[in-house]
Amino acid sequence: MKKIIHTTNAPAAIGPYSQAVEANGILFISGQVAIDPQTGKVTEGGITGQTEQVMKNIGAILKEAGYDFTDVIKSTCLLSDMGDFAAMNVVYGKYYPENPPARAAFAVKELPLGVLVEIETIATKK
């Protein structure tokens, strides 16, 4: 059985998708971009500020669903420029100080709203 997860502490979906879906003890979080849920605007601060906002958004969705960052098993990071990888990695790593999840990172031609980073996440209960 699938359960739709939604929180006002993360940006609302900007298309026909859910913030997250939980099925059989696995949480699938849609790609999160650097939108501040309070203002609805893209966060400033370059790749560092945007990655921080993305991780806050992921954290809010995890919390709403009853998970936390230690439950994350896989992330996919999409970057508009691989030159931003190292700076993104520093911020991302703060959220996974021990036993980080599996991860893939890709450079893409363009991301929604002109953002610099998008991260999708999969988590499971221990």
**Alpha-carbon distances of 72 from 11, 23, 42, 56, 59, rounded to whole Å:** 20, 15, 25, 14, 10
- Listed by start position, the domains of the chain span 2-124
pTM of the model: 0.96
- Return the residue matching tokens 């991780």: 55
Q: Give yes or no for a contact between 123 and 27, defined as CB atoms under 8 angstroms apart.
A: yes
Position 13 scores a pLDDT of: 87
Position 109 scores a pLDDT of: 93
Mean pLDDT, contiguous 10-residue spans, the chain (126 residues): 95 92 96 96 96 98 98 98 97 97 96 95 91
**Residues, the chain, total?**
126
Position 1 scores a pLDDT of: 85
Tokens of 75: 């992330």
Position 78 scores a pLDDT of: 98
Residues 2-124: name the CATH superfamily.
RutC-like (3.30.1330.40)
**Helix/strand/coil for 104:** strand
Position 56 scores a pLDDT of: 98
**Helix/strand/coil for 41:** coil
